[in-house]
Amino acid sequence: MTATTAIVIGRNEGDRLIACLASLRAQSVETVYVDSGSHDNSVAEARKAGALVVELDHGLPFTAARARQAGFDALAETDDLPEFIQFVDGDCIVAPDWIATGEAALRADDTLGLVTGWRAELYPERSLYNALCDFEWRRPAGEILVCGGDTLVRSQAFVDAGGFDANVIAGEDEDFCLRIGKAGWGLRRLPEEMTRHDADMMRFAQWWQRAVRGGHAYAQVGWKHPPYALREQLRAIVYGVVLPALALWGVFENLWIFLGVMALFVASYIRTKNGLVKAGLPYWEAWRHARLITLSKLPNALGMVLFHWRRLRGHGMQIIEYK
Give the helix/strand (H/E) hosting 152.
strand 151-154
pTM of the model: 0.93
Grouping H, G, I as helix, E, B as strand and the rest as coil, residue 153 is strand
SS3 content of the chain, % helix, strand, coil (to 5): 55, 15, 30
Measured between alpha carbons, how far is residue 226 from residues 72, 229, 260, 321 in Å? 27, 8, 33, 26
| Integer Cα distance of 186 and 312 in angstroms | 34
Give the helix/strand (H/E) hosting 119.
strand 112-121
Half-sphere exposure of 96 (CA within 13 A, CB side): 0
**Burial letters for 215-250: b for 16+ Cβ neighbours within 10 Å, e otherwise?**
bbbbbbbbbbbeebbeebbebbbebbbebbebbeeb
The C-alpha angle with vertex 5 and arms to 4 and 9, in degrees rounded to 5, equals 140
Residuewise pLDDT in 10s, the chain (323 residues): 469 999 999 999 999 999 999 999 999 999 999 999 999 999 999 999 999 999 999 888 889 999 999 999 999 998 889 999 999 999 999 999 999 999 999 999 999 999 999 999 999 999 999 999 999 888 999 999 999 999 999 999 999 999 999 989 899 999 999 999 999 999 999 999 999 998 889 999 999 999 999 999 999 999 999 999 999 999 999 999 999 999 999 999 999 999 999 999 999 999 999 999 998 889 999 999 999 999 999 999 999 999 999 999 887 777 777 76
